[in-house]
Amino acid sequence: MTSSLVLSSLFAAAQNKEVTVFNPHWYLQGQVGVQETLGETSFGKLLAPNAQVAVGYDFSSKFGVRLAINAWESKAALEYNDIINKWKWNYVAPTIDITADLTNIIGGYKPNRLVSVGVFAGIGANFGFSNDEAGTVKKALADQGHEALRLYWDGSKARFLGKMGANVDFRVSDRVKLGIELQANVLPDGYNSKKAGNADWYFNALAGIKIALGKSTKKVPAPAPIIMHDTVYVDRVVEKVIEKRVEVPAVKTDAVAKIEKLRRDVFFTIAKTVVTKQEMSKVEEVANFMKANPHSKVVITGYADKGTGSKAINLRLAKNRANAVFNVLVKKYGISSDRIIAKSMDDSMEQPYNDPIQNRVAICVVE
């Protein structure tokens, strides 16, 4: 009865503890900055104002999607007779972007991380308009006998757009982040009205704010505590002995009460199968326990985080993690291999922890 009360108290305490995990959510983003269009002048002389608004959805701590609308002004230049002719026009460029948080992919999710680095790529369209200044330059150069701006366009013009880039975000609160973003955008030849025979490019540097429309984190119950010792009801064993009139020496009854089971979870870093110095002490505890209990055996079960890597890669990682602990027990601590069972779990099976980082583990159970 006392043992049952102790176990109940432990589980009740575990249920009262919670951990913070990522919560999928929508967000709004607003940014301003500058644009540089590649042209026939030195880099930095065709700077133009730039702005972007976006709505996005982070469906995991690693990946998301957003609809971004980038707009304002582009510039171009052409040198003739030692004179640099410049012109500008306006545009609106909506894109669908796939986003990835490299910090969470490599280092795992941490809700209070202050700085995170991401990348993105997208496709969309660029709608150019108000290109009158290019028409003025074209006419002026034509009067000088120079056939310029052979791809000049007026009115409005739509073109395919490809985009890629990187961003750095700085956490202000659970819902607010400040960030900077660098973009490279590529379009078909003629965006700047000039015929060059290759794609046209412009680059954006932006800074702004991202606001989560819902909670970006949530609380979930912590994993149940690991019970190190099996509970043995000695009084019931004695009852059966008395009923069957079997004399059992008191020393043997005490021995039954002291039967133990040991569990140690040996954690690994992402994509690694080598036992670290910090985790080696757990393997040593397993070895010492087995030496103190010569008839004990250990089952080592390897796991991998199913949210990272392919199924084949994860199965190999899980197997190699179990084998890594096996080899340390045998080669370093001299535990006989016939007392060890090493196995691995497919990532389609239920994982032992809610936190993906903790599922990069080899669980050792000795009994």
- Whether residue 169 contacts residue 103, with contact meaning beta carbons closer than 8 Å, is answered with no
Question: What are the tens digits of pLDDT across the range 69-93?
Answer: 999 999 999 988 888 889 999 999 9
How far apart are the C-alpha atoms of 39 and 45, rounded to whole Å?
A: 9
- pLDDT tens readout for residues 328-365: 999 999 999 999 999 998 877 789 998 889 999 999 99
User: Could you tell me where in the chain the CATH 2.40.160.20 domains are found?
Assistant: 20-218
What pLDDT score was predicted for residue 229? 46
Task: Enter the tokens of residue 60.
Answer: 């995991």
For 367, the token pair is: 């009994």
* Per-residue pLDDT tens over the stretch 47-65: 999 999 999 999 999 999 9
pLDDT tens digit string along 233-271?
Answer: 444 443 444 444 545 454 444 444 455 789 999 999 999
User: Which residue ranges does the chain devote to CATH 3.30.1330.60?
Assistant: 2-18+223-366
The answer to whether domain 2-18+223-366 has CATH 3.30.1330.60 is yes
Q: Residue 330 in 3-state DSSP?
A: helix
Tokens encoding 64: 């998301």
Q: Concatenate the DSSP letters of all residues of 72-94 into one string.
A: EEEEEEEEETTEEEEEEEEEEEE
Given a contact cutoff of 8 angstroms between Cβ atoms, the answer to whether 186 and 161 are in contact is yes
Average pLDDT on 273-282 reads 94
CB 261, CB 286: distance < 8 Å:
no
Cβ pair 365, 308 in contact under 8 A: no
pLDDT tens, 166-182? 999 999 999 999 999 99
Task: Give the per-residue pLDDT at 198.
Answer: 92
For 20-218, CATH gives 2.40.160.20
% of the chain exceeding 90 in pLDDT: 69
Of the two residues 19 and 163, the one the predictor is more confident about is: 163
Tokens of 66: 């957003």
User: What is d(CA 111, CA 145) in angstroms, rounded to the nearest whole number?
Assistant: 64
